[in-house]
Structure 1
Amino acid sequence: MRPMTLPRSTQISLEATPYYHCVSRCVRRAFLCGRDTESRKDYEHRREWVVSRMHKLAEIFALDIAAYAVMSNHYHVVLYIDKNSANKWPLIEVINRWQKIFKAPSLAQRYLQGDTLDHCEQKKLREITSIWRERLTDISWFMRCLNESIARQANAEDNCTGRFWEGRFKSQALLDERALAACMAYVDLNPVRTNMAKTPEDSGYTSIQQRIRAAISGDQPKSLLPFVGGERLNMPKGLPFQLDHYLELVDWSGRHLDPRKRGAITENTPPILDRLGISSKHWLYLNRNFESRFKGLVGSVETVRQACTRLNKRWVHGLRDCQEFLSP
């Protein structure tokens, strides 16, 4: 008997964390992307569909992309929910953002055209845009808009109908810096771990490749959530690590994930692991098993228990692993 699926409201708490790891898998045997050895068809171009749509939606939603990887039959994305920015949007911006995805009703169109609305119409418009504002900070709506678009394109190309994705995407709440760093590295190293690429910089359609290419010019990609360094007063929006430290960490991890190079772990491990309080042995285990070992809530035992209290959850799967691998 399969366990009952929990509603998203019991898995997401912005008070606990704004970071979430989402995974969506293709339900059919046909590939989402890449070359299908059975049908001998090449679907490599679909990777660009996913990446382009993902970045376009991130510009519309109050969500930032921290990491992503597009694989052969699934994709990963780590999202940051920017609730504060969404709350500051004026009414007209909410309408303009929403109608980039969906057709706005005539009431909103009249408002944009400068028509005078009576009291009841103004109240109704505020109610509608309040719903839109909430949806534009909702990862479920983001994933819905992403997956439906790709499914329509793929079904049209395959000349078929029916479900393209599994019924629900998988999500993990990343409750602290340890969980965030481990998950991002896990996502960025997917192609290396599955032998699709030899190095992070060779990993096509991943955030790590995009970051490395930008770093060569001394920049950070504008379409990705930037690295802003460690926690401090007046902390700007961004990832709480230094970019060079994270790139060093991913490069070091990728070398040890290569099955041809397994063996003793070198002593000169990246210093970021010391700051995070994670041993090199545990870090490499997380890079191979992060998705399978943890379910809805991921972090130290303390942060997981705090999140459980906010979400009225009595128990969470993987608490023992959180204790062993992610607790100081």
Structure 2
Amino acid sequence: MARTKRSELFTADEIAVVHVMNRVVRRCFLIGVDPASGRNFDHRKRWIEDELEKSAANFGIDLIAFSLLSNHMHLILRSRPDVVATWNDLEVSRRWLMLCPIRKDAHGKAAEPSEAELNAIRLNPDKVSEIRSRLSNISWWMRLMCQRIAQRANREDGMEGHFWQSRFRGVRLIDEQAILAAAAYVDLNPIRAELAETIEASDFTSVQRRIRSLPQEGRPAVAENPPLEHTAVEPEPSGPADAVDSPELPFSKASKSSPTPTATPVHACLRTSAPNRYLAPVQIDEQGDAIGALPSHGKDRCSDKGFASMSAVDYLELLDWTARKIAPGKRGMTPTDAPPVLERIGMKPTAWCQLVKHFGVLFRLVAGRPHHVDAFRSRLRSGPFYLPNKTRELLAG
């Protein structure tokens, strides 16, 4: 069966949110602990995190969520051609040369481009136009990142050939429910795989970075019992930075029962060294946010636009509640009351948990409410995209 062209799902000249997954060859554990040989390749996850940070700082693409496991990775990316359009030709040239440097410094990092290097691009209108398009192209993000990780890993192993199994898989997310469910699916990957017991203990994930960016007093309490040590194979996906977004009550178990909540000081929420500084903010305020592209005021990410109609605190609480529901063997009392945010976005608790737990098999190419998927059309064909009956039944009503 022919593979669907990516241009049917998303293109560089439109704002698109995409769930991306890529796997190493032969389902080996080349970016984690290999149970067969006992070798630990976790340091390669740090390579990927470094590439994610560099890409987020220079591409016109928002990094919404990520999780890195031992044999595959998940990302949620949002292309932002509207932000790229606000950059002049000099900025476009500079960003490209930071991604694909001509020279490197003593530490192997991209050296600040010279005027001659910048002029070689910005004085060539055709080249500037091509690079401007690349900077909001998710395929180019994945191409550069995966190529560099593969070359580095092959050098380390003294090997040649493919490191990644095939081209990455991309699922277009077309409504808020799909984006939120996909983000939760990605952030809770280690818990579903029984590699972590809590979201704060989920290493190499965006949710752990968001938690670590909260003020110390607002962080979730760490479980008294240490995470279980597992050697089980991670489940196979099936199927074909900021600081707290608003000065709200910090996320913690104690804060839920506190009779007089205390607001998080604004200055504590604006630390430029926050571990999640290159991630897209959680909250999108349709009434309070400025209209337009909203380019980032900092240098670590593309824009300051959020992705959900809830605060970072509410998002973390939703993840914590969901983790307890989809991992019933997890220590601790399972909460009975669903977070009010589910009602606000029109999701039943049972449907939400099933959506997060099985997102990878419920959607193939396009994810969203059935009526949204049925109405979605690609630029290359007029027919609707297929949505499994079990997905329709789950999201009915």
TM-score by length of structure 1 reads: 0.88
**CA 1:15–1:52 in structure 2 vs 1: closer, same or farther (change >3 Å)?**
closer
Residue from 38, 46, 50 that aligns with 2:36 = 38
Residue from 53, 56, 80 that aligns with 1:55 = 53
Contact kept in structure 2, 1:299 and 1:326, CA below 8 Å: no
Cα distance, 1:312 vs structure 2: 2.7
Q: How does 1:105-124 map to 2 (within 5 A)?
A: 110=116, 112=118, 122=123
Residue from 221, 226, 234 that aligns with 2:281 = 226
Look up the SS of the partner of 1:178 in the other structure. Answer: helix
| Pair 1:90-2:114 in alignment | no
Contact kept in structure 2, 1:64 and 1:80, CA below 8 Å: yes
| Pair 1:127-2:195 in alignment | no
**1:265-294 alpha-carbon deviations (Å, 9 max, x no partner):** 854101111011111111111121101120
Residue from 340, 347, 352 that aligns with 1:283 = 352
> Distance in 1 between the 2:63 and 2:44 partners?
19
For structure 2, the residue ranges without an aligned partner over 5 or more in a row are 103-113, 219-242, 245-275, 295-304
Q: How does 1:246-257 map to 2 (within 5 A)?
A: 246-257=315-326
Look up the SS of the partner of 2:213 in the other structure. Answer: helix
Aligned to 1:187: 186
Aligned to 1:19: 17
> Distance in 1 between the 2:352 and 2:67 partners?
20
Contact kept in structure 2, 1:22 and 1:172, CA below 8 Å: yes
Contact kept in structure 2, 1:229 and 1:243, CA below 8 Å: no
For 1:190, the aligned partner's letter is N
Q: How does 1:167-182 map to 2 (within 5 A)?
A: 167-182=166-181
> Distance in 2 between the 1:90 and 1:99 partners?
15
> Distance in 1 between the 2:177 and 2:13 partners?
18
Cα distance, 1:40 vs structure 2: 1.5
Cα distance, 1:168 vs structure 2: 0.9
Look up the SS of the partner of 2:313 in the other structure. Answer: helix
> Distance in 1 between the 2:21 and 2:15 partners?
18
Aligned to 2:376: 307
> Distance in 1 between the 2:126 and 2:53 partners?
28
Look up the SS of the partner of 2:277 in the other structure. Answer: coil
> Distance in 1 between the 2:362 and 2:72 partners?
18
Look up the SS of the partner of 2:279 in the other structure. Answer: coil
| Larger CA deviation: 317-326 vs 247-256 | 317-326
**1:169-222 alpha-carbon deviations (Å, 9 max, x no partner):** 011111011001100000000000000001000000100000011123573422
| Larger CA deviation: 144-153 vs 293-302 | 293-302
Aligned to 2:203: 204
**1:98-126 alpha-carbon deviations (Å, 9 max, x no partner):** 1123357xxx964746x9x9xxx95xx11
Aligned to 1:67: 65
Contact kept in structure 1, 2:12 and 2:137, CA below 8 Å: no
**CA 1:46–1:267 in structure 2 vs 1: closer, same or farther (change >3 Å)?**
same
> Distance in 2 between the 1:315 and 1:215 partners?
43
Look up the SS of the partner of 1:98 in the other structure. Answer: helix
Contact kept in structure 2, 1:294 and 1:321, CA below 8 Å: no
> Distance in 1 between the 2:393 and 2:12 partners?
25
For 1:222, the aligned partner's letter is R
Cα distance, 1:16 vs structure 2: 7.8
Contact kept in structure 1, 2:325 and 2:353, CA below 8 Å: yes
**1:218-254 alpha-carbon deviations (Å, 9 max, x no partner):** 7342211002244326356212221111111100011
| C-alpha RMSD of matched pairs (Å) | 2.6
Contact kept in structure 1, 2:376 and 2:384, CA below 8 Å: no
Aligned to 2:298: none
Residue from 307, 317, 342 that aligns with 1:239 = 307
Greater helix share, structure number: 1
For 1:189, the aligned partner's letter is L
**CA 1:327–1:246 in structure 2 vs 1: closer, same or farther (change >3 Å)?**
farther
Residue from 329, 335, 344 that aligns with 1:260 = 329
- Number of positions where the alignment pairs a residue of Structure 1 with one of Structure 2: 315
> Distance in 2 between the 1:44 and 1:26 partners?
14
Aligned to 1:269: 338
Give % identity: 33
Look up the SS of the partner of 1:137 in the other structure. Answer: coil
Aligned to 1:165: 164
> Distance in 1 between the 2:11 and 2:92 partners?
23
**CA 1:272–1:86 in structure 2 vs 1: closer, same or farther (change >3 Å)?**
same
Aligned to 1:324: 393
**CA 1:249–1:14 in structure 2 vs 1: closer, same or farther (change >3 Å)?**
farther
Contact kept in structure 2, 1:299 and 1:322, CA below 8 Å: no
Look up the SS of the partner of 1:24 in the other structure. Answer: strand
**1:124-154 alpha-carbon deviations (Å, 9 max, x no partner):** x111110000011000000011100110111
> Distance in 2 between the 1:326 and 1:181 partners?
14
